[in-house]
Amino acid sequence: MSKPNQTLGEFIIENQTSFKYTSGELSRLLNSIRLAAKVVNHEVNKAGLVDIIGNAGDTNIQGEDQQKLDVYANDKFIQTLTKRNIVCGIASEEEDDFIAINSQDENNQNKYVVLIDPLDGSSNIDVNVSVGTIFSIYRRVTPLGTPVTLEDFLQKGSAQVAAGYVVYGTSTMLVYTTGDGVNGFTLNPAIGSYYLSHPNMEFPKDGNIYSVNEGNYSDFPIGIKKYIKYCQQDEGERPYTSRYIGSLVSDFHRNMIKGGIYMYPKSSKNPKGKLRLLYECNPIAFIAEQANGKASDGFTRIMDITPTELHERVPFICGSVNMVEKAEEFMRNEEK
């Protein structure tokens, strides 16, 4: 149940009993992500001051090295989750391999692993465009108290117990699901608290926004080309409009509120697509489905794909149900 002026901290505690595996551990984990996101938000907001406080690689006035923001965000999330001893393993888009936490300690009874893209769309930072953090949480599949293995991370998206994102935009928002709908919280920077601002978020069934990097058009599969042409049609009043930020979280967030479709298809440059199944597509797909939207690779539900490697890429089509199904129809027709 949502209440006016409810903070994220209060909401997590109040809703923890509706979570079927409730033990308080997931609540502590979400609270750690909330905390790290505030620290990263503070740093992201200072990004425009780079000429004043120094570039990545420089040493600042306190003698500290200036880090690239995506490295900084990666360190902050990993540090927060590791120091608070809340998870048994972390995989990050910024790390080659997964990190096992206290893996030799048989008293480590933590059951969750986190997969994270600490700062997605970071090429947008230099030009003051929104970026985001994406996270995905699973229960480990190997026994408690033993070291985590790759198997704990290579689970289908349908096994996620929670997923969310933080969008560092005109305001900072944290949006998440534990499989019981999607709720969005806006950070009040003066107080440092997130307040429930978008309860029960839902995709409109239909939308009029299509988001795709049309610069890659000539390389797209024919089904996607035809779907784009369909969106550009000029029969009567053309209902569609194109919006592409190039920052997945922001494009997705806008489309969820207004109704739309996001596509990152395969192309000859990216034969498997560009986005990562585990760090980007699965968590966004979980949120999309929980918000009555849909996510697929054009043929298969994203959350039904069995991952075979940590950094696996996949074509991604996600958004309002009717729009995604129309795009899938174009894909299927060309496949025949």
Applying CB under 6 A, which residues contact ligand AHM?
Answer: 117, 120-122, 213, 246-248, 274
Closest contact distance (angstroms) between CB of 131 and Mg ion is 9
Which structure tokens are listed for 84?
Answer: 């608070």
- Phi/psi region, residue 222 (left: phi>0; alpha: psi -120 to 50; beta: rest), is alpha
Q: Which of the choices Mg ion, ligand AHM, none does residue 328 contact, using the CB cut-off of 5 to 8 A by kind?
A: none
Closest contact distance (angstroms) between CB of 214 and ligand AHM is 9
The smaller minimum CB distance to ligand AHM, of residues 162 and 248, is found at: 248
Q: Which of the choices ligand AHM, Mg ion, none does residue 265 contact, using the CB cut-off of 5 to 8 A by kind?
A: none
**Sign of the alpha-carbon dihedral angle for 85, 87, 93, 97:** positive
Strand partners, 132: 120, 167
Contact flags string 81-120 toward Mg ion, x per CB under 5 A = ------------------------------------x--x
- Tell me how far CA of residue 261 lies from CA of 134, 156, 268, in angstroms: 19, 23, 22
The smaller minimum CB distance to ligand AHM, of residues 81 and 212, is found at: 212
Stretch 204-263 residues interacting with Mg ion (CB under 5 A): none
DSSP strand E in the chain: where? Answer: 89-92, 99-100, 112-120, 131-139, 162-168, 172-177, 182-188, 193-198, 209-211, 241-242, 260-264, 293-296, 316-320
Closest contact distance (angstroms) between CB of 123 and ligand AHM is 6
Query: Is residue 282 within 8 Å of residue 136, measured between CB atoms?
Result: yes
Query: Is residue 175 within 8 Å of residue 298, measured between CB atoms?
Result: no
The smaller minimum CB distance to ligand AHM, of residues 117 and 289, is found at: 117
Closest contact distance (angstroms) between CB of 310 and ligand AHM is 14
The smaller minimum CB distance to ligand AHM, of residues 140 and 313, is found at: 313
The smaller minimum CB distance to ligand AHM, of residues 110 and 315, is found at: 315
Closest contact distance (angstroms) between CB of 154 and Mg ion is 18
Closest contact distance (angstroms) between CB of 319 and ligand AHM is 13
The smaller minimum CB distance to Mg ion, of residues 120 and 251, is found at: 120
- In the block, tokens 């206290």 appear at 102
The smaller minimum CB distance to Mg ion, of residues 117 and 251, is found at: 117
Non-local CB neighbours of 204 within 8 Å, separated by 6+ positions: 258, 259, 320
Closest contact distance (angstroms) between CB of 151 and ligand AHM is 24
Q: Which of the choices ligand AHM, Mg ion, none does residue 177 contact, using the CB cut-off of 5 to 8 A by kind?
A: none
Query: Is residue 214 within 8 Å of residue 225, measured between CB atoms?
Result: no
The smaller minimum CB distance to ligand AHM, of residues 121 and 184, is found at: 121
**Sign of the alpha-carbon dihedral angle for 302, 305, 310, 311:** negative
Stretch (H or E) spanning 323: helix 321-335
Q: Which of the choices Mg ion, ligand AHM, none does residue 92 contact, using the CB cut-off of 5 to 8 A by kind?
A: none
Q: Which of the choices Mg ion, ligand AHM, none does residue 213 contact, using the CB cut-off of 5 to 8 A by kind?
A: ligand AHM
- Phi/psi region, residue 125 (left: phi>0; alpha: psi -120 to 50; beta: rest), is alpha
Closest contact distance (angstroms) between CB of 76 and Mg ion is 16
Q: Which of the choices Mg ion, ligand AHM, none does residue 247 contact, using the CB cut-off of 5 to 8 A by kind?
A: ligand AHM
* Other beta carbons less than 10 A from residue 123's beta carbon: 11
Which structure tokens are listed for 31?
Answer: 């609270």
Point out which residues bind Mg ion (CB under 5 A). 117, 120
